[in-house]
A and B are shown apart, each in its own frame.
Chain A
């Protein structure tokens, strides 16, 4: 499958990774190569094969409904690059 520069730019937007045009160009070539290589998976007959979800080793486990965590605002905020009082901040979001 061909992977054009427009698609690379679109993926970059979806993944919120800012790219220059030049970078888009470089990544396009590399990604095209990698995708070309993974396309060999099309040779495999996967008819009736279920997808593997996890390794199937652990037993499903559920937690008791108890408040055992939280109430640690300083921990939660201590690494914030731009904290305002009890809040994280972001540039103003206009809805």
Chain B
């Protein structure tokens, strides 16, 4: 097969740019062209910014020609439309922010820009990052570029960072930013056959990222390889005085950790993750992962995370409570879409009725309920106590193991029309990703193989606080062993 510009990973493109084997303009143009060819169907972008990207590419080439430019100079990426980008519409995939143009830049995207990354636009997501299918976007659902081998049905890319996952998988960008509140990076990464990292809470600044649940939201990279994720994370991460929850500690050179191997590492297998009804294929890929790590010299032990079962309901209470408050600012007064009303309250009610989609409204109502007078102790306070127990589970486990291996999601990508109508069934998608979010520990997902219908499945590694490096080392072993080179049906490198 002839090599194409779409065979580049972020890392190999970086080398090629520095060696002047390819120019930033060529790279960016090719990806803009791919977006134009494919994205009217995939719908992974909400806003495309080709003009800005081309200008930036020219500047990048000038820098590269002089041997200058940052670590990401000239590399085309996509930005989840939850990160505020100065002068570029930022919607959170909500009608209520349909025309919002922030006069400020999020810290994470500012860091990427500082290092020379070139944004091709803003990527689709579930409205306000609330969902795991990317079907709740006010700008339409995103199509997973993968197809089942036996059907042409549109599959969901997962969510909420579904646009990011789909765009990376389809080769429209070399990498993307995501955010993860309860699995929103890891689950779509698994569904789309790519890699994604949810760093330790506090590792990436939340400043300028539209909030869903403040105590859980964490930005992270999504790309086709772990090395690419490591490169992006090194740029995105870092202390930010504008975010009080940002942690002040140096950012390691993550790429250096990739080759460490797992010899002598202890890997925990949480028995509570073997839930009833777990599909055999998921069970099998999990076992495969265990074997790979063993073969590479890791010691695998069974561990217990006894409160796992309660992670999901506790997560929904905590996240929705925070969300109900975080979304109060969308009131049609200072920014966003307004629907007139005769009184102030009528304006609020009409604006928010028209501006928010069903899932967001449901979550706001639930969040309001669990905080309301008489229910606070029974729901919110209890959930936060359970959260303490969930965190203790992990801390206890890390007394004996270095990293935990689990499936990323209980299934592969499902079809658009297979999305359950019962919200609780939809929430169950997050069952394996939520506990790490609740504890604040880092986790990643790597593609491990395909299921019997040709749809990718992911494996999840969960690490110690701020030990993204061990995650990368172990992840790298899985990545090598899996040698996941499959490509989705819809891909920039495939001529139509």
Query: Does the CB pair B382–A46 fall under 8 Å?
Result: yes
| Complex Cα–Cα for A91 and B137 (A) | 30
- Size of the B side of the interface (Cβ < 8 Å), in residues, is 75
Q: Is B400 on the interface with A (CB-CB < 8 A)?
A: no
Q: Is B345 on the interface with A (CB-CB < 8 A)?
A: yes
Query: Does the CB pair B317–A55 fall under 8 Å?
Result: no
Residues B378-413 near A (CB distance < 8 A): 378-379, 381-389, 391
Query: What residues of chain A lie closer than 8 Å to B361, measured between beta carbons?
Result: 17, 19, 27
B-side residues, CB < 8 A to A, are 99-101, 103-104, 200-202, 215, 241, 244-248, 307, 309-310, 313-314, 316-317, 324, 328, 331-338, 340-350, 352-353, 356, 361-362, 364-366, 368-369, 372, 375, 378-379, 381-389, 391, 422-424, 427, 439-440, 465-466
A24 to chain B: closest residue by CB: B365
Query: Does the CB pair A31–B369 fall under 8 Å?
Result: yes
A83 to chain B: closest residue by CB: B334
| Complex Cα–Cα for A63 and B368 (A) | 32
Q: Is A2 on the interface with B (CB-CB < 8 A)?
A: no
Query: What residues of chain B lie closer than 8 Å to A14, measured between beta carbons?
Result: 368, 372
Q: Which of A3, A53, A54 contacts B369 (CB 8 A)?
A: A3
Query: Does the CB pair A91–B346 fall under 8 Å?
Result: yes
Binary per-residue interface labels of chain A (29-40) against chain B in the complex, 1 for a CB within 8 Å, 0 otherwise: 011011101101
| Complex Cα–Cα for A35 and B378 (A) | 11
Query: Does the CB pair B369–A35 fall under 8 Å?
Result: yes
Kindly name the residue among A1, A16, A51, A88 whose own CB sees the greatest number of chain B CB atoms within 10 A.
A16
Additional pairs, 5, CB under 8 Å, beyond known A41-B310, A55-B245? A37-B424, A44-B307, A44-B385, A81-B332, A91-B344
Query: What residues of chain A lie closer than 8 Å to B427, measured between beta carbons?
Result: 34
| Complex Cα–Cα for A13 and B348 (A) | 10
Query: What residues of chain B lie closer than 8 Å to A80, measured between beta carbons?
Result: 333-335
Query: Does the CB pair A18–B349 fall under 8 Å?
Result: yes
B387 to chain A: closest residue by CB: A52
Closest 5 CB pairs of A and B: A55-B440, A18-B353, A51-B384, A18-B349, A79-B335
Query: What residues of chain B lie closer than 8 Å to A51, measured between beta carbons?
Result: 381, 384-385, 387-388
B352 to chain A: closest residue by CB: A17
Query: Does the CB pair A38–B369 fall under 8 Å?
Result: no
Query: Does the CB pair A44–B332 fall under 8 Å?
Result: no
Query: Does the CB pair B423–A33 fall under 8 Å?
Result: yes
| Complex Cα–Cα for A45 and B391 (A) | 15
A17: min CB distance to chain B, Å:
5
A-side residues, CB < 8 A to B, are 1, 3, 7-8, 11-19, 27, 30-31, 33-35, 37-38, 40-44, 46, 49-59, 61, 63, 72, 75-76, 78-82, 88, 90-91, 93
Query: Does the CB pair A49–B389 fall under 8 Å?
Result: yes
| Complex Cα–Cα for A3 and B368 (A) | 13
Given A18-B350, A52-B385, A91-B346, are A41 and B314 also a contact pair (CB < 8 Å)? yes
Given A15-B368, A53-B384, are A58 and B244 also a contact pair (CB < 8 Å)? yes
Query: What residues of chain A lie closer than 8 Å to B439, measured between beta carbons?
Result: 55
Query: Does the CB pair B356–A17 fall under 8 Å?
Result: yes
Q: Which of A1, A16, A34, A57 contacts B349 (CB 8 A)?
A: A16
The contact sample of 29 A-B pairs, CB cut-off 8 A, is: A16-B349, A17-B349, A19-B353, A27-B362, A27-B365, A30-B362, A31-B362, A31-B366, A35-B366, A37-B424, A44-B385, A46-B386, A49-B386, A49-B388, A50-B385, A52-B388, A55-B201, A55-B215, A55-B439, A55-B440, A57-B201, A57-B466, A58-B246, A59-B247, A79-B99, A80-B335, A90-B344, A91-B340, A91-B347
Query: Does the CB pair B365–A11 fall under 8 Å?
Result: yes
Query: What residues of chain A lie closer than 8 Å to B245, measured between beta carbons?
Result: 54-55, 57-58
Given A15-B324, A17-B352, are A81 and B337 also a contact pair (CB < 8 Å)? yes
Query: What residues of chain A lie closer than 8 Å to B440, measured between beta carbons?
Result: 55-57
